[in-house]
Chains A and B, each alone.
Chain A
């Protein structure tokens, strides 16, 4: 059971470039989310999805797009990378519609925008 698989682990982008961070889970979790982690600020929610075909914005959505065409996959797209998007990104999933059960996290992507 792979859990939550997140790729790549590391990425360096130039300002203005676009890229997609991949996230896949094999636990049939309906709820998936993307966070960024910056020093001293904890995990901040970027976008989330409560099921295939449904996405919504979190606390810091600007500059990011998501889609949820399948239950398993929840990619995060950076449209035009900016240095302010230098961060560590985590994808997470949890059991269908039940927020009183734990979240499972991917291994994280360390992104640097130069």
Chain B
């Protein structure tokens, strides 16, 4: 069973703060790394699909980087807003295998 870890488990930030969290995954046979945003009482929605070492992706105030050689990805949120409050999941995909999700980072942005 592949081990995908996310840290921190949860964090609280003030509105306007920038923050980041980490997804760690096995570095062998990498295929893809996904980030999902999961709001309470809703279903996860994709933020980024990353496939190449060194990938950097951006969507508004949210960006992500990928290091496949050392097995980690960072998600950054610049100028956090209350609507950013959600659980952020990463999912690791190895060649020929299924999605393996991390436990998530629960973000609360306080107004």
Contact = CB atoms under 8 A, between A and B. Distances in A.
Contacts of A99: 31-32, 93, 98-99
Contact of B101 (A35, A48, A100, A108): A35
A59 B1 contact: yes
A33 B46 contact: no
B50 to A, nearest CB: 9
A40 B103 contact: yes
Contact of A106 (B34, B43, B46, B103): B43
B44 interface: yes
Nearest to A99: B93
Contacts of A105: 43-45
A43 B49 contact: no
B2 to A, nearest CB: 9
Most chain B beta-carbon neighbours within 10 Å: one of A92, A99, A100: A99
A100 B93 contact: yes
B25 to A, nearest CB: 12
A79 interface: no
Nearest to A108: B43
B103 A33 contact: no
A45 B99 contact: yes
B42 interface: yes
Contact of A103 (B9, B51, B91): B91
B66 interface: no
Contacts of A40: 9, 103
Contacts of B91: 43, 103
A107 B46 CA distance: 14
B98 A33 contact: yes
9 contacts: A33-B99, A40-B9, A42-B102, A43-B101, A45-B98, A92-B99, A99-B93, A102-B46, A103-B36
